[in-house]
Amino acid sequence: MHVVITGGAAFIGSHFVGRLLQRGHSVSAIDSFDAFYDRAIKRRNLSRYLDNERFRLVEVDLLDLDAAEERVGLGADVMVHLAARPGIPGSILDPVLSTRVNVWQPSERVRDRQPRRRSAGVPATCSAMLPRSP
Ligand SMILES: NC(=O)c1ccc[n+]([C@@H]2O[C@H](COP(=O)([O-])OP(=O)(O)OC[C@H]3O[C@@H](n4cnc5c(N)ncnc54)[C@H](O)[C@@H]3O)[C@@H](O)[C@H]2O)c1
């Protein structure tokens, strides 16, 4: 199976990459290497997989969906969306941007591209999506 993992260079995404490769799958990790955590830490998360011929790291911003799609292609069997703008302060300052990255952007493209394909949805959330306290 070919699995695309967004946010694949981060803590959870990179562990997921490792586990899928171990099980014999092909994995494309998409990540924009945003500045929230040190870029070097994220490179290190993936360093042991970079030589694996079943692994591909694609550095691209999901907000540019056309570029992301062009770089990754449409051949994925499963997409796991873990890319995120973490942190509550950021989501209060710019809720639209947080929602686009955390929830909306990839879902929209999957919906557009695979209208008739049956797919399983896995609901997930992140701290930035929690409501503000009253
Ligand atoms: N780590 C935890 O303990 C924890 C706990 C609960 C929920 N979560 C949620 O699980 C998910 C993954 O967590 P994590 O800690 O591995 O991730 P993280 O929050 O550390 O990093 C997310 C990754 O997404 C990438 N990213 C951000 N915007 C992007 C964009 N526009 N295009 C492409 N990539 C982009 C970042 O560069 C980063 O590598 C997040 O939604 C997080 O909120 C994490």
Domain boundaries, the chain: 2-129
* Separation of alpha carbons 16 and 67, rounded Å: 24
User: Which is more confident, 111 or 12?
Assistant: 12
Of all atoms in ligand 1, which is nearest to the CA of residue 31? 34
Of all atoms in ligand 1, which is nearest to the CA of residue 11? 16
From 6, 32, 39, mutation site for ligand 1 pocket: most ligand atoms within 8 A of C-beta: 32
Phi–psi pair at 49, nearest 5 degrees: -105, -10
Amino acid identity of residue 84, one-letter, is A
Residues 2-11 have a mean pLDDT of 91
CATH of 2-129, one of 2.30.42.10, 3.40.50.720, 3.30.70.260, 3.90.550.10: 3.40.50.720
Query: Considering the entire predicted model, what is its pTM?
Result: 0.84
User: Which is more confident, 13 or 131?
Assistant: 13
Tell me the per-residue pLDDT of 71-117, one tens digit each, with 9 for 90 and over.
Answer: 877 567 888 888 888 888 888 899 888 888 877 766 666 656 554 55
Task: List ligand 1's pocket residues with C-beta within 6 A.
Answer: 6-7, 9-13, 30-34, 37, 42, 61-63, 82-86, 101, 126-127
Residue of 120, 44, 15, 134 lying closest to 77 (CA atoms): 120
